[in-house]
Every structure is written in C-alpha cells, then in structure tokens.
Amino acid sequence: MKTLTETIMNVVYQSEILPRIRTSNFSFARIIAWADAHPVVWRIVTGRKSKAFGIDSCEYIGWAQRSMERDAIIERARHLYEIVFRKIPCYTPDSIFVWRANFTIEHYQDKGFTGGFFQQHDARYPRSCLTLDYTPETLEEVLDRFCAWMDPSNETDRVSINGLTVRTFPRKEI
C-alpha cells in the first residue's frame, strides 16, 4: 500500500462588497463581478425594499426566496443578471420583465422607493397581475407600463396596487 499526500488548490471567487459571498463555481464569477460593479444589486437581493426582486419575492425559485445563505443570495443575483442581460430566451429588449429589472436597479436608491402587486380587473374578475417597484415620482410611468402590458382581451374597469384602486377606465358603450 502507498500513502500519498496531495495538495489541492481551489480558486475562490469572492465579492469585494459582501466578503461572505464566495464560491468556487466559475459560472458564478461573472455574477459576483457584475454585482460588485453595481453594488445596488447586492442591496436589492439582500433587502426587502424591492417587492419585485428583494427577499421574499416570488420571482425566485423557492429555496432562494427567503434565505440569507450565500448560495441563495448568489442565486437571486444570478436571476436578476439573467433578466437584465436577457439570458432567458423569451425576454426581448422591450419586455416588461427586462424593463422592471432595469427600473429596479436604476431607482432602488430613490426617495420613496417601494413596490406592490399590480392587478388588472374587469367587471367581474381580477385578471393580469405583476409585482412592480415604483417611487411616488415614477408611479404614473410604472402604471402606464403595466397598462400597456396587461391583457387587452379583457375590458378593464380598473387597476389596483395591493388591492387599492389606482386607475379606472370608463365603460365602453356598445
């Protein structure tokens, strides 16, 4: 029998902004570098202020939604990266999903930043819905984007945020 001693070297990719974020998985190196270059990304995915992309967002896979473990934080940053850079094949530059990710990154540090559950309603049922972030100054822009995205096949009566009506639509006469 032989006894061998081996020295193994691991390459570790570590965030300069959040040193506890580290991995030996090369595929996450670009994610960590991107988030370090845009530190607001780390604040978004580790905070609760963004309803669309923060902790507890349904945007993420279940195990990563609420956890503050480093793998979950990296997963949330990875998901945001893939939306921003349209790595998900169905996302086009004019997609509302790409727009809302970029909007959140751009406006996260603005005064009054928050988010909510936007929902389209017809006379009888709630219809299209999406969680979007906004500020008091950008609310109309975000509402316009949501209204342009929502299902046009339904005659919309109103749009709500977190159940409160924020925009109404006149009934069309037949």
pLDDT tens digits for 15-70?
999 999 999 999 999 999 999 999 999 999 999 999 999 999 999 999 999 999 99
Sheet holding 164-168, edge to edge: 126-134, 114-121, 158-161, 164-168
Residue 2 burial (C-beta neighbours within 10 Å; 0-12, 13-18, 19+): exposed
Average pLDDT, the chain: 94
Residues 6+ apart with CB under 8 A from 78: 28, 31
At 100, list the tokens: 């809302």
pLDDT confidence of 92, banded at 50, 70, 90? Answer: confident
- Distance, CA of 140 to CA of 145 (rounded, Å): 9
pLDDT at 2 over 80: yes
Could you list the beta-strand ranges (E) of 16-113: 22-23
pTM summary value: 0.89
Domain boundaries, the chain: 13-97, 114-168
Alpha-carbon separation of residue 87 from 91, 92, 93, 113, 151 (angstroms): 8, 10, 11, 27, 25
